[in-house]
Each structure stands twice: as structure tokens, then as C-alpha cells.
Homo-oligomer: A and B are copies of this chain.
Amino acid sequence: MTLDLSATSIDVTRQICDIESVSGNEKRLADDIEQALRMPHLELFRDGDLVVARTNLGRERRVVIAGHIDTVPVNRNLPTRFETEDGVEYLWGRGTVDMKAGVAVALKLAAELVAPSVDVTWLFYDHEEVASDLNGLGRLARTRPELLEGDFAILGEPSNGAIEGGCNGTMRFDVVTHGKRAHSARGWMGENAIHKAAPILRLLADFEPETITVDGLDYRENLNATMASGGVATNVIPDECRIHVNYRFAPSRSTAEAEARMRALFEPLGEFELKDMSPGARPGLDDPLAQEFLAATGLEAKPKYGWTDVARFSALGIPAVNYGPGDPSLAHADDERVPVAQITACEQALRAWLA
């Protein structure tokens, strides 16, 4: 047996981090997980490099506990090592935060909790860190949606040990102005598309984003130009200017509503080119299972701002939260490291609730 799930969850984290699994290279880790969870109390499914392990105890309610097993590319930060700073012990290295500590806790509990208080679908999936259409969870939702069924979902993404509910939606679009080229020595023969972008930037600079309370959590919206480009040469009046805008909107707004709002603001100022959008996810903290989970763990609930896969559960009608060890601001950082005490605390909280 390659993985030893009888070790501590800290050690399981170390074991699975040291199996490199950059997106596209998850096979070895998925094989090891499948082998380690081949146990009488679990029903196994494999789809590509995704592994599902389900209890079938006939409980009234089912909880999905999910985590992705891939990481962003390694940058001289494997193998892992333990280090101590100011008396705090950390496990350092690629994947420790995003999100193999969360996966390790789930693996250990999947192996040990032979009779949890609710049925549990443990889900370990591939391709989260790359283009959205490759995402293993998205693939399963398309091809085997019945395997995702449940009353509540917990995604083990790093949340610094707090419970982060739902997430903002996100929408990206270009606002494009048009003009007419001319040699800049005779600027009056042309029409300057960059100058026409002035009111677009003014609107963005003056925009006052709202903070919207959804199911008791405050979601802070924001609207930002993230890219700007225009011009063909330093002596030519530009005939096009393109401002790329990212709108992050509270999960109480539908994508249709968010789009209509942006079109109303920007269509008078330029051509509106929608690039993509993803709905937010309501925190779902009013759900009885979520309430039980909060009560059992005694943890604080906060809004999640970044878009995560909880929105995929939300789209399937399943309330979902992020809960996992590690500081999300260290995700993808080369000095990614997780305080080992957070791994143990996360294991204990989930165990207390599920046992």
C-alpha cells in the first residue's frame, strides 16, 4: 500500500504532497487514492483521474466532501519539509495549502469513519487548476450527475480554518471604442479611439461598488478595468481602444441581472463584448445541515470572494461551503505552507460533526 491512511492527517498531507500531481499528471495519486480507499464500507467509482468513495448506510441525508488533487506547477518547492517559525510548526511545499491538507483530512476520515451520522460521498477530483472546461467536477456533473447528489457539500479549499460560504459571481467583458486611423501629423483627419475611452475610465474610477448581505454574510462587489490596449503605431491615430473589465457580483444577483446592469452602464460608451461569466453561489447557511455543521464546529462563517467550485454545487441546487486548512492568500505562492495545527483542527471538527 503506497498511502498509509493510519498515519496522522499531518503525515498524510506530507505523503500526498510528495506525490507530484500538477494538473494533467494526477494519475499516480488517483491510483494511490483508489487503492487506499478499497474498503468494505465504501463504494468506489473511478472516472479518469477522479475517485468517488461513497458510504451507503441508508441515512436520511447525504453530505458531499470534495477536494481537488491537482496543483499548480512545482517551482523548487517539493519535496515538502517541516519548518518552525515563531513557535508555529508548518508543513512547507507545493500543494500544502491548495489543497492537499484538505484532501488528506478527507482521506483519513473516509478510511476511518465506517459509520458516519450521515451518508458521505467523498470526492477527489482532477484538473481544478486549469481551464474550466477540463475541471473533473464539471465533467462528473455532465456525465454522472447522480454521483454528486447530496443535501450539503463541503469543499476543502483553504479557508484559514473558518467556514467560507458561497462566493461572488464573476463576469469579464471588453468595452471597445472605435475611431479612424490617420497619420498623427494630421490628427484632425482621424478620430481618436483612445480619447473616446475617457468616459469609460471615468465611470470605472467613480463607480461605488455595493456590499450586499446574502443569507447573513456580507458580499463586497467590485468593478475593475484589468487590461487596457489601443493603438497601432506611435505616429498613427488609433482606430480602436479596448478596456477589459472584471465585475465581481454578489451571489444574490443572477448572471442575467449582472449582465444587464453592466450593459446599461457601458453600452452607451462603447461596444460591449461579453467574454465569460460564472454565477456566484449563495452561502446556503440557512440550510439545516449547514446550521448543524456550524453548531458542531463552533466556527465563524465568512463570505468567500474568489470564485470556487462551490458554485458548481450551488448550480446543482446543493448548498456548499469552503472549509479547509491553510491561508488562501498563500495558494499558488512558491512559499506555500500550512500550519500543521490547522490540519489537526480541521480533522477534529469534521470528525466531531460526522461521528
Which residues in A have some Cβ–Cβ distance to B below 8 Å?
168, 170, 172, 183-188, 192, 194-198, 201-202, 204-205, 209, 220, 222-231, 233-238, 241, 243-244, 246, 248, 275, 305-307
Tell me which residues across on chain B come within 8 A of A234, comparing CB atoms. 172, 226-227, 244, 246, 275
The contact sample of 7 A-B pairs, CB cut-off 8 A, is A192-B225, A195-B205, A197-B228, A202-B202, A226-B235, A228-B229, A231-B244
In contact, B186 and A228 (Cβ under 8 angstroms): no
In contact, A231 and B222 (Cβ under 8 angstroms): no
Tell me which residues across on chain B come within 8 A of A224, comparing CB atoms. 184, 187, 192, 194-195, 237
Tell me which residues across on chain B come within 8 A of A195, comparing CB atoms. 201, 204-205, 224-225
**Could you tell me the distance in whole angstroms from the C-beta of A162 to the nearest C-beta in chain B?**
15
CB within 8 Å for A202 and B194 given contacts A170-B185, A305-B185: no
Question: How distant is the Cα of A194 from the Cα of B202 in the complex, in angstroms?
Answer: 10
In contact, B194 and A225 (Cβ under 8 angstroms): yes
**Could you tell me the distance in whole angstroms from the C-beta of A303 to the nearest C-beta in chain B?**
11
Closest to A203 in B: B198
In contact, A243 and B194 (Cβ under 8 angstroms): yes
Tell me which residues across on chain B come within 8 A of A205, comparing CB atoms. 192, 195-196, 198
Interface of A is mostly: mixed
Tell me which residues across on chain B come within 8 A of A198, comparing CB atoms. 198, 201-202, 204-205
Closest to A276 in B: B234
In contact, B237 and A231 (Cβ under 8 angstroms): no
Tell me which residues across on chain B come within 8 A of A183, comparing CB atoms. 306
Tell me which residues across on chain B come within 8 A of A192, comparing CB atoms. 204-205, 224-225
- One of B226, B237, B241 near A228 (C-beta < 8 A): B241
Closest to A243 in B: B194
Extra A-B contacts (9), CB below 8 Å, given A194-B243, A195-B224, A229-B229: A186-B222, A192-B205, A194-B228, A195-B225, A197-B228, A201-B201, A226-B236, A226-B237, A228-B230
Question: How distant is the Cα of A246 from the Cα of B183 in the complex, in angstroms?
Answer: 11
**Could you tell me the distance in whole angstroms from the C-beta of A218 to the nearest C-beta in chain B?**
13
CB within 8 Å for A188 and B220 given contacts A202-B198, A202-B202, A225-B195: yes
Closest to A168 in B: B185
Tell me which residues across on chain B come within 8 A of A220, comparing CB atoms. 188
Closest to A236 in B: B226
Tell me which residues across on chain B come within 8 A of A244, comparing CB atoms. 231, 234
Question: How distant is the Cα of A188 from the Cα of B211 in the complex, in angstroms?
Answer: 12
